[in-house]
Amino acid sequence: MAVLSVTPEGIYCEAGGFHIDPWRPVDRALITHGHADHARPGHRRYLCTGPAAPVIRHRLGQIDLDTMRYGEERRIDGATVSFHPAGHVPGSAQIRVAVSGEVWVVSGDYKLEPDGLCEPFEPVQADTFITECTFGLPVFTWTPQAEVAQDINRWWADTVAAGRTPILGAYSLGKAQRILTMLDAAIGPILTHGAIENTNEVLRAQGIALPATIRVTPDTDPKRHPGAVVLAPPSALGSAWANRFGATSTAFASGWMRLRGVRRRRAADRGFVISDHADWPGLNAAIRETGAERVLVTHGYTAQFRRWLETQGYDAQEVETEFEGESLETAEPDSAA
């Protein structure tokens, strides 16, 4: 019997009687992180890491939520579970499940490059590794964060010099805070859309240091904040909300910006290649480091990535889940809740 299987509700552990990131309501849900395609409402009991809990509570309201420390082991019926840093967003985890000595690890969403914001990714030994592969093609390789930070800050300064307001679109959980830490506050003040500032408040309250920001409200007069950069969810770019800033230069931060065609479709002035998902070298390194012989691939370029893993000697299979990867669309994955 397999340690984990995919049921209509989600990834299921029969020995432990729980699901991982289920997409339909279940009795007991282990949650990798707070993005809406992983932490959904309606389950009876939730379990996640301590640092992931505040955002999940903020989004799902009154829920029965228990937490564990990273690395702590807990017995759930016939299974032993533990959470390990995934480096994706603050509090995000890979979930390790051991049953009768066989170890499976569910990656959730992850990236390898330390971003200075969340707990850095830690490889976990596994017999079977269930990995996302949102960017599972060799065209997706990220430039180091420090270089992207330079590009963003230069764009900010140039845009201000040209008499325009720079507006940068980024998801309100994870990406936005990561960018906050990359911005050079010497250039000017940082204005934030309410959706982002709400998440900022939750994260600050749990002790995560973020630079000073100014929440944009209906009374905000942009003229009183000369030289400012504006951080907003992608859906706010080009919306009525953005009109108050007059002449703008818009930018969008996503791994998809690596593709020129996608950059052009977004019709933003700039695209910065920055993702909280692993790039091609990252996926390959992560899989190698688990030592797993069997790899199950999900959400992303699964067919191509599975075939590639086979040529590398893995027993690889595709599994169909309802996770969404890094959405490119205006409806961001974390806005559903």
Partner 1 sequence: MNRFAKLFAALDQTTKTNAKVTALAGYFRDAPDDDKLWTIALLSGRRPRRTVTTTSLREWAAEAARIPLWLFEECYPIVGDLAETIALILPPATRTSDRSLTHWITEIRALAARDEPARKAAILDAWDQLGSTERFLFNKLITGGFRIGVSQKLMTRALAQATGHDEAALAHRLMGDWTPDRTSFHALVEADDPAAELSRPYPFYLAYQLDTAPEDLGPVTDWLAEHKWDGIRGQLVLRGGQHFVWSRGEDLMTDRFPELAAAVDFVPPGTVIDGEILAWKDASPLSFSALQKRIGRKTVPKKLLAEAPVILKAYDLLEWQGEDLRATPLAARRTLLENLIEGLPNTAPIRLSPALDAANWRHLAQARAKSRALGAEGLMLKRKDSAYQIGRKKGDWWKWKVDPLSVDAVMIYAQQGHGRRANLFTDFTFAVWDAGNLVPFTKAYSGLTDAEFRQITQWVRKNTIDRYGPVRAVTPTYVFEIHFEGIQASPRHKSGIALRFPRIARWRHDKPIQEANTLQDLREILASYG
Q: Which residues bind Zn ion (CB under 5 A)?
A: 35, 37, 109, 323
If contact means CB under 5 to 8 A according to the sort of partner, which of partner 1, Zn ion, none does residue 138 touch?
Answer: partner 1
Q: Where are the alpha helices (DSSP H) in the chain?
A: 53-60, 145-161, 175-182, 194-205, 240-243, 260-266, 280-290, 302-311
Minimum CB distance to partner 1, residue 168 (Å): 14
If contact means CB under 5 to 8 A according to the sort of partner, which of Zn ion, partner 1, none does residue 252 touch?
Answer: none
Decide whether 23 or 70 has the Cβ nearer to partner 1.
23
If contact means CB under 5 to 8 A according to the sort of partner, which of partner 1, Zn ion, none does residue 104 touch?
Answer: none
Decide whether 114 or 138 has the Cβ nearer to partner 1.
138
Minimum CB distance to Zn ion, residue 271 (Å): 20
Question: Of how many residues is the chain composed?
Answer: 337
Decide whether 36 or 191 has the Cβ nearer to Zn ion.
36
Q: Footprint of partner 1 on this chain (CB under 8 A)?
A: 137-141, 256, 258-265, 267-270, 301, 303-304, 307-308, 311, 320, 322, 325, 328-331
- DSSP E strands, 127-237: 128-133, 165-169, 190-192, 214-215, 229-232
Minimum CB distance to partner 1, residue 15 (Å): 28
Decide whether 94 or 321 has the Cβ nearer to partner 1.
321
* DSSP assigned state of 257: G
State how beta strands 93-99 and 102-106 pair.
antiparallel
Q: The dihedral of CA 136, 108, 57, 91: what is its sign?
A: negative
∠ CA 230-231-234, nearest 5°, is 120
**DSSP H or E segment with residue 30:** strand 28-30
Decide whether 167 or 176 has the Cβ nearer to Zn ion.
176
**DSSP H or E segment with residue 263:** helix 260-266
Minimum CB distance to partner 1, residue 89 (Å): 20
Q: How many other β-carbons are positioned within 10 Å of the β-carbon of residue 210?
A: 17
Minimum CB distance to Zn ion, residue 12 (Å): 18
- Please count the CA atoms within 13 angstroms of the CA of 16 that sit on its side-chain side: 26
Decide whether 2 or 137 has the Cβ nearer to partner 1.
137
Q: Is the Cβ–Cβ distance between 132 and 298 less than 8 Å?
A: yes
If contact means CB under 5 to 8 A according to the sort of partner, which of partner 1, Zn ion, none does residue 6 touch?
Answer: none
If contact means CB under 5 to 8 A according to the sort of partner, which of Zn ion, partner 1, none does residue 35 touch?
Answer: Zn ion
Q: Is the Cβ–Cβ distance between 251 and 86 less than 8 Å?
A: no
If contact means CB under 5 to 8 A according to the sort of partner, which of Zn ion, partner 1, none does residue 44 touch?
Answer: none
